[in-house]
Amino acid sequence: MNDPSTSPKTPCSGNCACSGNSAPPPADEPTGISRRTVVKALGATLGVAAYAKALAPLTELTKETSMDEFIQKHYKELSKEEMAAVIQRLTQEAKDHYGADVTISDPQPVDGVKFGYALNLSICNGCRKCAEACHLENNHDRPSHQSYIRVFEMSKGSMDFEKGNAHYDHPVPQPDKYYMPVQCQQCEHPPCVDVCPVEATWKEKDGVVVVDYNWCIGCRYCEAACPYHARRFNWTKPQIPAEEINPNQSYLSNRIRPQGVMEKCTFCLHRTREGRLPACLEACPTGARVFGNLNDPNSEIRWVLENKRVFVLKEELGLKPQFFYFFDE
């Protein structure tokens, strides 16, 4: 990806692992419109919280929605047996819709663990290997080059990523630039969670903000509320060839999401809750990324926080991101 100049030239929303060349979302939103229409109509007759919570699963009723999926409860209300049945159904759906044999787990937060991430901006070279690894690990739609990570090319001296360029299309690194990857900051006070009308998104004990893709109604309030532009909307049924599907999946992270729901970085919880590192970190050729347990005084992430002058993006908002940045000097 160092020289992306050979990619096809089409516009890009910047929410992907491409070089600014992927196709934009469709102009019309067939699924989103029907969801919002249903919700709006129901809202006219019921209280907001009551109608949304009670009838969220209705909005999942599409051509490909089974009755089991239609009546599925909220993640937090599922018993172990019910979750096992849901996972069995999703596994079968992956086989039926994609021809893929997948394993879907439901790893829980580990007691005493709170995840944090740090990024050394002095050595990030803007290669986008992290974004590419996210694209593959998290079973993103292939044609749109979707990724949870955007890498901004920044002018030296500027710290405002909104003024950076996520669509650069030239060899990196450029001499007068530095590079700032941005993904979900796993805020301690996440506004995306506060605005969800159906509680389809929440913060887990280990600090990871998750989405129940089977409960999300696709209203996109959370996307609008996120000041880091870290949420992604699934505009189409994801297209992924069977042989490219990552079969190691979990319910709350990288299983293939339905069309019309919101998704986001989960710090690769299907890996990290099992003691592995996020895929983006493993793919980084420069060692710019540091991940670990903030509660462990011997962890590398704690060393970084205690020995480097770290900062967070948009600190003035008071959201307390658990994603930190630093320079060597």
**Site residues, ligand SF4 (CB under 6 A):** 124-130, 151, 179, 181, 184-187, 190-192, 209, 226, 228, 230-231, 264, 283-284, 286, 288-289, 319
By beta-carbon proximity to ligand SF4, the closer residue of 51 and 228 is 228
Q: What contacts 208, CB < 8 A, 6 or more positions away?
A: 109, 115, 186, 266, 267, 269
**Which is closer to ligand SF4, CB of 219 or CB of 283?**
283
| DSSP characters over 65-107 | --HHHHTPPPGGG--HHHHHHHHHHHHHHHHHHH----EEE-P
Closer residue to ligand SF4 (CB): 86 or 118: 118
Q: Which structure tokens are listed for 302? A: 């704690």
How many Å from the N-terminal Cα to the C-terminal Cα in the chain? 28
Q: Supply the minimum distance, in Å, between the C-beta of residue 323 and ligand SF4.
A: 8
* 3-state SS assignment for residue 117: strand
* CB closer to ligand SF4, 105 vs 286: 286
**CB of residue 286 vs ligand SF4: minimum separation in angstroms?**
4
Backbone angle region of 152, left / alpha / beta, with phi > 0 → left and psi within -120 to 50 → alpha: beta
Residue type, 210: V
CB nearer to ligand SF4: pick between 90 and 184: 184
CA-nearest of 149, 237, 167 to 22 is: 167
